[in-house]
Structure 1
Amino acid sequence: MTRFDFNIHATDGAARTGVIRMQRGDIRTPAFMPVGTAATVKAMRPAEVRASGAEIILGNTYHLMLRPTAERIARLGGLHKFMGWERPILTDSGGFQVMSLGALSKLTEDGVTFASHLDGSKHLITPERSMEIQRLLGSDIVMAFDECTPYPATRVQAESSMLRSMRWAQRSRDGFDSGIDHASRSALFGIQQGSTFEDLRAVSAAKLIDIGFDGYAIGGLAVGEGQAAMFSVLDYAPGQLPADRPRYLMGVGKPDDIVGAVERGIDMFDCVLPTRSGRTGQAFTHAGPINLRNARFAEDEAPLDATCACPVCKTNSRAYIHHLIKSSEILGAMLMTEHNVWFYQQLMAGLRAAIAAGELTKFANDFRAQYGAR
């Protein structure tokens, strides 16, 4: 069985489409990974997530280590069995969450000590512990433990943070390799840092390549810098990483962010936006996002998106979903989330087809023109 293999089938400019092959199934790229923070893609059953076209989901190391704990999940057969998802799972390292705790966390060369947001209990995550947690979960794609550089950062701050992440990357590599049973069937991704400084990102990429990873993530973006600054980094950062390995842009994003990032050579994405928006009344459509809480939808008999092929748009009106949301009915969040996840997966399918046909520029321009038309 193939542990990890990435084949590029077609390119269009900097964009690529291909397939990642792993023991639990193939992942067509560019791919969007719905976020299953606490062993669930919120408001959706695994079969519904799979029906949308999703081939891989993301699990959250920080939340799962606290509740129900990685050790308990391991005793119960691993994360796939625990949540009923048989296909690949990527787990983040926990670094972003513990860094975001701010005053509740303390960073040292060893790792990060933090207080649980659940009960205040103290925990330490090191690169080695992060690898252990992800091994206990049974992750298919493991992320190296890194320091997520805040934005804005001075050059001195960005360099210091990046270099620490590179030291942690080596420790993550060593810790991952020590779990022989896990390393024989899973993949490890390194994370490039360097904020918005091109030369620092070049140093980071070189150090990661020297260590050697199955894939490479671009970290430290989607942290408040705005789309223009993000795209400016993506104009060069993907090209600093190996062309024959997947490139993963962490925590992105909005549909137009994804289209622009694919044009710049990104292969993998994750974001809580489609599920979080679904729970708060926002639906993504080809004409842009709409807020179903708005009174103008109270008697609107149209589907959420007339061009969408999802089950929600086939059978439910905007008026009905508006009613559910205004009534605080759970079904409203479920239907909205299902539609949004389908919307993202249909977008990825369209991007893959456009790259394969050599028509990405037209697809992207048409999408942007329609998406911003409201």
Structure 2
Amino acid sequence: MFDFQIKASCSKTKARIGSFETPHGVVMTPRFMPVGTLGTVKGVTPSQLAGTGAQMVLANTFHLHLQPGEEVIANAGGLHSFMGWDGPILTDSGGFQVFSLADLNKIDDHGVSFRNPRNGSQIELTPEKAIEIQMSLGADVVMAFDQCPPYPSTQNDVEEACRRTNNWLERCVKVHSRKDQALFGIVQGGCFPSLRELSAKQICSFDLPGIAIGGVSVGEPVEDMHRIVKQVLPLLPEDRPRYLMGIGTLPEMALAVANGIDLFDCVLPTRLGRHGTALVAGERWNLRNARFRNDHRPLDKSCFCEACKHHSRAYLHHLIRSDELLGLSLLSIHNISHLIRFTSAMAKAIAEGCFSEDFAPWNTDSPARHTW
């Protein structure tokens, strides 16, 4: 259980193909993981989600605690049964809400006190509580409770967040008791190299089944994100899955895979879909634009998702312009498929020896063109 095997690696980069065993199936890496915050990937049914090639999906501890409550989900037999998804699930700890709901919370060494965004009541989330909730939810992979500092922050503030993240991880490890769950730690440190190095060494010392890099894609320049990935990856154990949190843009995914990242997640594909935008060959197409009104070609002829197999650009344009929910759902399905196809294409390119950190399989000059 939770065995991670490297199946192939790239001779020119640190990219690798891996398999990660969980109680609900094997996750082949590199792999993009769709986000289903409230136990649902917005606008996409579980069977449609499986059709995109998704293997592991995410849900959020904080939001499921607020609604419907972990007791309801536990009584349903756990999150897999509750949401009708029989594949692997990862639950975020709620640590990101420490960042995203900063105006509603108060942080100290004990934990975080929140004002409930639904009704204004006071709630408290501690490392122990976050793990207890996740054990009740029953996900395959659970994340340690951490403090994600905003960008920009002073070095003193980030140092304090790193100290708390390390101390909170120790408390998470003590309370976590489910053998059928893998607990991952999270490296923080903001944009400060010395703090990233310190955090990586501290988190690695717990010898957990997997490690994540957090605190990126929070407003910092993309060059800083690249630098952090390149700095931290050599500090992490090679025989464990490595997860870069909150990343879903293709250049950043390619560079991260080239440096040894295995897993990604991001709300971007469904968020874009709900706003009428499709991801096609690395571009973002606004389907509201008039140029699609009489375009009866598939959205992407190289894609075999439900939207591309059965519907034209003109039909999708019509649905979006008419504010039909089906259009938003089809674009979300396509966008998820696009990112999963991209990670699958990277895996094939690694196996065939034609992968690089600027991987772009739709480029006709690229030796990886046939992998897309």
> Take 1:212 and 1:360, find their aligned partners in 2: how far apart are those partners?
30
Question: Could you tell me which residue of structure 1 aligns to residue 112 of structure 2?
Answer: 112
Residue 56 (structure 2) aligns with: 56
**How far apart in 2 are the matches of 1:75 and 1:308?**
39
Aligned residue in 1 for 2:250: 255
Please tell me whether residue 310 in structure 1 is matched to residue 305 in structure 2.
yes
Partner of 2:370: none
Partner of 1:270: 265
Shift of residue 20, structure 1, vs aligned partner? 0.1
Question: Which residues of structure 2 form unaligned runs of 5+?
Answer: 367-372
**In the alignment, what sits opposite 2:184?**
189
Tell me, yes or no, if structure 1 residue 6 matches structure 2 residue 4.
yes
CA contact (8 A) 1:99 1:105 kept: no
Structure 1 spans left out of the alignment, 5+ residues: none
From the superposition, tell whether residues 171 and 83 of structure 1 become closer, same or farther in structure 2 (CA, over 3 Å).
same
Q: Secondary structure at the match of 2:123?
A: strand
1:74 aligns with 2:70: no
**1:125-155: CA deviations, max 9, x gaps?**
0000000000010011010000001111222
For residue 8 of structure 1, what is the amino acid of its counterpart? Answer: I
- 1:324 paired residue number: 319
The 1:302/1:76 distance shift into structure 2, 3 A limit, reads same
Question: 1:86 maps to which residue?
Answer: 86
Rounded Cα–Cα distance in structure 2 between residues aligned with 1:336 and 1:60:
23
SS in 2 for 1:222: coil
- The whole-number CA distance in structure 1 between the counterparts of 2:58 and 2:282 is 28
Contact 1:287 1:370 in 2 (8 A): no
Q: Distance in 1 between matches of 2:324 and 2:48?
A: 19
SS at match of 1:8: strand
Contact 2:151 2:219 in 1 (8 A): yes
SS in 2 for 1:235: helix
Distance 1:264 1:367 in 2: 21
- Asked if 2 retains the 8 angstrom alpha-carbon contact of 1:127 and 1:171, the reply is yes
% identity of equivalent residues: 46
Deviations 1:15-40 (A, max 9, x none): 11110011210000011110011111
Aligned-residue Cα RMSD (Å) equals 1.6
Runs of 4+ in 1 over 4 A off after TM superposition: 365-371
TM-superposed CA distance for 1:361, in Å, is 1.9
Instruction: Check whether the contact 1:39–1:79 (CA below 8 A) recurs between aligned residues.
Output: yes
What is the aligned counterpart of 1:289 among 272, 284, 287?
Answer: 284
Quick check: 1:256–1:368 contact (8 Å CA) kept in 2? Answer: no
Deviations 1:216-263 (A, max 9, x none): 000110101132110011111111111111110001121222112111
Q: Distance in 1 between matches of 2:101 and 2:306?
A: 38
Between the aligned partners of 1:364 and 1:57, the Cα distance in structure 2 is: 24
Distance 1:368 1:269, change over 3 A: farther
In 1, Cα distance between the equivalents of 2:37 and 2:365?
32
Q: Secondary structure at the match of 2:237?
A: coil
**Closer, same or farther: CA 124–37 of 1 in aligned 2, 3 Å:** same
| In structure 1, C-alpha distance between the alignment counterparts of 2:236 and 2:362, rounded to whole Å | 28
Q: Are the aligned partners of 1:147 and 1:162 in contact in 2 as well (CA < 8 Å)?
A: yes
Q: Do the aligned partners of 2:104 and 2:115 also contact (CA within 8 Å) in 1?
A: yes
Q: Given the alignment of the two structures, is residue 345 of structure 1 paired with residue 340 of structure 2, yes or no?
A: yes
Report the Cα offset of residue 348 of structure 1. Answer: 1.1
Match runs of 1:27-38 below 5 Å: 27-38=27-38
Aligned to 1:17: 17
Number of the residue aligned with 1:230: 225
Quick one: which of 232, 237, 256 aligns to 1:242? 237
Letter in 1 for 2:169: A
**What CA distance in whole angstroms lies between the structure 2 residues aligned with 1:6 and 1:199?**
29
Q: 1:309: how far off?
A: 1.9
Of the candidates 329, 337, 341, which is equivalent to residue 334 of structure 1? 329
Amino acid at match of 2:51: A
